[in-house]
Amino acid sequence: MTTQTEVGTVVWPGHPFPLGASWDGYGTNFSLFSEHAEAVQLCLFDDEDNETRIEMTQRRALNWYCYLPEVGPGQRYGYRVHGRYAPAEGLRFNPAKLLLDPYAKAIDGVVDWAHDANVLPYVPTGEDDADLELDDEDDAPAMPKSVVIDDAFDWEGDRHPNIPFADTVIYETHVKGFTMRHPEVREDLRGTYAGLASEAAIAYLVDLGVTAVELLPIHHIADESFLWARGLRNYWGYSTIGYLAPHSEYAATGRRGQQVSEFKGMVKALHRAGIEVILDVVYNHTAEGNHLGPMLSFKGIDNTSYYRLSPEDPRFYMDFTGTGNSLNPVHPSVLRLIMDSLRYWVSECHVDGFRFDLAAALAREFFDVDRLSAFFDVIHQDPVLSQVKLIAEPWDVGPGGYQVGNFPVLWSEWNGVYRDTVRDYWRGQAGNGDFAQRLSGSSDLYEADGRDPFASINFITAHDGFTLADLVSYDHKHNEANLEDNHDGSDDNRSWNCGVEGETDDPEVLALRRRQQRNFLTTLLISQGTPMLLGGDEIARTQRGNNNAWCQDNELSWYDWSEREPAAELRAFTRRLIALRREHPVFRRESFLRGAELRGSGLPDVWWFRRDGLKMTRRDWQQGDPVLGMFLNGRELDATGPRGEEIEDDSFLVLFNAHHEDQVFMLPRRRFGAQWVLELSTADPSAAAGSVSHGARTEVSVVSRSIVILRRAS
């Protein structure tokens, strides 16, 4: 590798906006924000990694810029930013370190931790104050490079599916893990955007009935050095270093801009199948870690602008995320980066929404979480972003960070209270009152500020924690594979192993575990709100008790598509549940249940009853066994169709028995329904709908730890 400076390179003045590298068909405009830099060099790399450095002498609006004619798509580049290295003042400029463009739309390669080049901005002595001594070693050989791209793409008339939240069923999955072992996906496409766009992958999702995929982070990521040292990799991807670039390692077609077209092709293919794409985004922190972390981009471009630094000692970072740093959305240029990134993914890549990781960190103005923060204000005023699905993970690790129920209108939230309550109920640790509140859409959390039931993203499991199969198989985490002596991961799992820890061949235990999985899935898909299914739960995917598989980029995390009979049965049952929800709007209401009659049907929209078929009393709610009956009135939906027509549906009885003994329910009086037919039973998943009927005030036996759903006969 050689380095030269402006030899034979034609440089034009260019423009300060847009930020990033913008190719216009003839040349490329480069623009980089840095408020405190003293000088900036644009570095171009050829195929042999020879470097040409160009002084960026133009500066306006705190942006450094230039235009290079005849430089176009595929050109790799980076920046070297000059200024003071004074960590005690928060300044960490080091021109020996090549930096990624925060606005890069493609990035080639990953950090090469095995290379001798030091991507730390300081001399790594191993001491706590090592960061105070500048390292002058060039790290370009170990650094990924930003890439100029051609934005052109033939969308062929692609349109957002615009599926209403009330009709949405979310499938949380991982681009790589979903297809990495899929036998019907071409081997060279497995684990890639093209693999997820393959006919086999999409056919599976369509057959299952989900309406949206929520993809774990696909922004370009950087592995942590300690993972590399352990022979592990960051699988989940919550280690972003490029907010406008799809992760190049998930591309089958190339890494010099081809990953962008491949990602867009995946979105287009999913849209053709009627499936929306929601991205899990990480705007709360970056891959650069704390004061001892690497210098990859933001830290070396303008540390004091991009990050929240400790007011008492700006050498250190505020850490609301548990990762070592927190981005600073209070700074207007950082907020602009976040908004520009979000708009790019919607406008240029056609994604349909976002799930914001540790969203409470973005709402912190200075220390406190503020629902009126600039972040929310800008999104609500934006004509593009205000119209897509906005989902918050409503907590962070800072003080006061648990904010379930406190996000503003337009936002839905991962409902952690729902998860905990439903898990507790099916292990006999939650009361009927709390359970009914979650079944009903959590009005106590979302109604007062004008939101609807679908503000609650209901989930039992997610990427972080046990899978559903493990939730019913393990009382304790088993994270030894993470090489942290099982200290990582939560100990608050609210799980129950059904009597045996881990794998067993006991037929009674296995039968109970399968029934419990069906109980959880049934509860999820008949609850008011928006259900989110963890991908693989429908085929009983296991991580062998690992509840923190963030660094397991291997068969522990990748989906097992082998044809096992229990997995096939559970998949069929899940498909049946999703179809039931899709066909019956009574399970996906657009307004909260009132327990009252609103449409003149003669019955309330919901009515709760005991085993004897009589109405629940206050004492029943406060005491008693986890046994509950629910009547849902399909003639009291309080909803209209697109032309104002009233919508009516069938009515249902749902009999919940989370008790360890079988229970006998007396069905309610005739006015609720003269005849009822079986819709499904979690104790007998093979029983066909309509195969059994019951009259009013007759007894129905419900097996221990199971659910029976009855539909009113017409």
| Alpha-helical regions (H) of 364-488 | 374-381, 416-425, 432-439, 443-446, 468-471
- Is 365 a residue of the active site? no
Q: Which of 135, 262, 352, 357 is catalytic?
A: 357
- Is 501 a residue of the active site? no
CA atoms within 13 A on the CB side of 336: 13
> Who's near 554: CB < 8 A, 6+ residues apart?
none
Q: Which of 51, 393, 396, 679 is catalytic?
A: 393
Q: What does the block give as tokens for 631?
A: 């009547």
Q: What is the DSSP string of 544-576?
A: TT-S-GGG--STTTS------HHHHHHHHHHHH
Q: How far is Cα of residue 615 from the mean position of the Cα atoms in its chain?
A: 40
CA-atom Rg of the chain in angstroms: 27
Conformation bin of residue 320: beta by default, left when phi > 0, alpha when psi is -120 to 50: alpha
Helix-helix angle 416-425:507-526, to 10 degrees: 140
> Who's near 276: CB < 8 A, 6+ residues apart?
160, 161, 163, 168, 211, 212, 213, 270, 352, 353, 389
> Who's near 433: CB < 8 A, 6+ residues apart?
621, 622
| Phi, psi for 550 (deg, rounded to 5) | -65, -25
| Phi, psi for 73 (deg, rounded to 5) | -55, 140
Q: What does the block give as tokens for 681?
A: 């039973």
- Distance, in Å, from the CA atom of 638 to the CA atom of 642, rounded to the nearest integer, reads 14
Q: What does the block give as tokens for 129?
A: 């104050």
Instruction: Yes or no: say if 625 and 393 are a contact pair by the CB < 8 Å rule.
Output: no
Three state DSSP letters for 62-130: CEEEEEEECCCCCCEEEEEEECCEEHHHCEECCCCCCECCCCCCCEECCCCCCCCCCCCCECCCCCCCH
- Distance, in Å, from the CA atom of 22 to the CA atom of 14, rounded to the nearest integer, reads 11
Paired residues of 665 in beta bridges: 700
Query: Which residues participate in catalysis according to the annotation?
Result: 357, 393
